[in-house]
Amino acid sequence: MDYLGIAGFVFAATALSVLVYEHQADVLNGPYIEGRAAPQWIEPQWAAIASDFLQPLRELAEPVVAQINWTARSAVYFASLA
């Protein structure tokens, strides 16, 4: 019974990631519309401080995230077929 719950959770998480990915990649809703401002999650003065502080961490994390995205792409595609 536990395995069924875990499999259901994995399927639901993968299906949700498919929806988010498709919404982000959609030309009408994504960041591709010219003149659309990017969302600001934090105040601009804190963004500059956070950017300087987190730059070394970002340089370390970006290759790892890129690898995970490339690996997870096939799983997301497989879930979208279901």
Rounded Cα–Cα distance for residues 59 and 79 (Å): 31
pTM over 0.85: no
Q: Are 18 and 76 in contact (CB under 8 A)?
A: yes
3-state SS class at 38: coil
Q: What pLDDT digit, counting tens, does each position of 30-76 carry?
A: 666 666 666 666 666 776 777 788 888 888 888 888 887 777 777 77
**What pLDDT, on the 0 to 100 scale, is given for residue 58?**
83
Q: CB-based burial of residue 14 (10 Å sphere; 0-12 exposed, 13-18 middle, 19+ buried)?
A: middle
